[in-house]
Structure 1
Amino acid sequence: MFTLKNRFAELLAEKERRTGQRWTYEEITRATGIAASTLSAYANNKVRRFDAVTVEALLAFLECEPGDFFVLEETPEGQLVAVA
């Protein structure tokens, strides 16, 4: 079984290295319109339902493609996965 994860935190760190600018959630909120609590949920991989408008804004902000942002991770054998 697989779990869909996002790479927001990793891609944000790459953007910060690339641009030499550190981004706070408050600054990202101003740039994208996405609430800081939502950004935190993405950074901690707590999001299980992906809103298209939010994902599009994050992709534009991070300057990446969906294939860069999402990754499928194999769930260890016998581990229960919540399905909504």
Structure 2
Amino acid sequence: MDEVGIKSYVQTNCNKITDDGVEIKLPNGKEKYLSADMVVYAVGLTSNKEEIEKLKNAIPDIPTFVIGDCKRPAKVGEAIQEGYMAAMSIV
């Protein structure tokens, strides 16, 4: 991800996802807005169905795909394949 300029933020709260980016709260408490055309929201070790529904309802006009461990515990290869299939259905 670093090689192609994709930034990741750990231990960071997602306050709001908008049409053109995401508002986050950093571990030091500062809030920041990041311009983005795509946001990957990956949290926790277990599925949080309530969070999934909250995100789907927040942006109903944007296709949402539940993949990987968010859907069910699986191996990395399965998650990658599900992500690939979700991406190809958009194209």
Higher relative contact order (CA 8 A, sep 6+): 1
> Quick check: TM above 0.5?
no
Q: Name the TM-score, length of structure 1 as normaliser.
A: 0.29
Larger proportion of helix: 1
TM-score of the pair, normalised by structure 2: 0.28
